[in-house]
């Protein structure tokens, strides 16, 4: 009715009808092929039976029928293959049509979306973001430098104290302790140390002389 009224059928409907027709033709070919295969089996049995009965004339006639039947079976297989190829072609066309429709719909959606987007507003927003981000980075850098300056002296004092303690630990002396008395050391060149003060050591003791030199370097 659509064609009689001058209206063309949609492509989907045309493809569906053609695919249905090809499927029907393939089904009919399969049915005919099955019948020929049954006939082939029957002729094979009859030929064997006639050969056992020495009926060579019948054997030759049925052999011709068997050859002809096998030829038609081969033709039906070829025809089915061609129809299957046509069906695949139609399926490919249908897939291409679906992809084209999807791309068309996507293009329309993208056009509407791009039309709704305010490009100048987005550019202004990005510029403001970059500006504020730069301010934040500068503030973080200033705060970091200020904190480093405030904590710099304290860190240096702690480091100096650690070095002094390390030097004193190497010779077994700590702050608040007296250096060994001259009599306890048993060295005639040492002087007696007063309580609470570091002992004065003569230059003939290499270990204590090195300690005094390292302490003097730390005080500089």
Instruction: State the pLDDT at residue 72.
Output: 92
The answer to whether residues 193 and 199 touch, using CB atoms and an 8 Å cutoff, is yes
Instruction: State the pLDDT at residue 215.
Output: 66
Distances (CA, A) of 75 to 19, 83, 118, 132, 214: 22, 12, 66, 80, 109
3-state secondary structure of 113: helix
Q: At what angle do helices 11-52 and 56-116 cross, to 10 degrees?
A: 160
Element (H, E) at 9: none
Question: For residues 158 and 102, which has the higher predicted lDDT (pLDDT)?
Answer: 102
Domain boundaries, the chain: 11-115, 152-219
Instruction: State the pLDDT at residue 9.
Output: 78
% of the chain beyond a pLDDT of 90: 17
pTM of the complete model: 0.45
The residue whose two tokens read 């393939």 is: 26
Please, which pLDDT band fits residue 3 given cuts at 50, 70 and 90?
low
Residues ≥6 apart with Cβ < 8 Å to 207: 171
Residue pLDDT, tens place only, 53-77 = 888 888 888 899 999 999 999 999 9
Distances (CA, A) of 51 to 22, 38, 131, 159: 43, 20, 103, 116
Neighbours of 167 (CB within 10 A): 16
């Amino acid at each position: 009715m659509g064609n009689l009224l001058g209206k063309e059928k949609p492509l989907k409907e045309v493809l569906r009808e053609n695919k249905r027709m090809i499927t029907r033709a393939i089904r009919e070919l399969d049915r005919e092929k099955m019948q020929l295969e049954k006939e082939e089996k029957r002729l094979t049995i009859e030929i064997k039976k006639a050969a056992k009965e020495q009926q060579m004339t019948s054997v030759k006639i049925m052999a011709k029928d068997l050859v002809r039947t096998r030829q038609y079976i081969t033709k039906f297989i070829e025809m089915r293959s061609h129809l299957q190829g046509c069906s695949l072609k139609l399926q490919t066309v249908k897939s291409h049509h679906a992809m084209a429709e999807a791309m068309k719909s996507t293009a329309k959606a993208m056009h509407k979306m791009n039309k709704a987007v305010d490009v100048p507003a987005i550019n202004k927003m990005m510029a403001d973001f970059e500006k504020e981000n730069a301010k934040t980075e500068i503030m973080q850098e200033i705060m970091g430098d200020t904190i480093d300056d405030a904590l710099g002296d304290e860190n240096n004092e702690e480091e100096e104290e650690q070095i002094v303690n390390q030097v004193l630990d190497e010779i077994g002396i700590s702050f608040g302790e007296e250096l060994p008395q001259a009599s306890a050391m048993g060295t005639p060149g040492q002087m007696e140390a007063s309580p609470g003060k570091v002992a004065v050591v003569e230059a003939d003791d290499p270990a204590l002389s090195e300690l005094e030199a390292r302490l003097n370097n730390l005080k500089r």
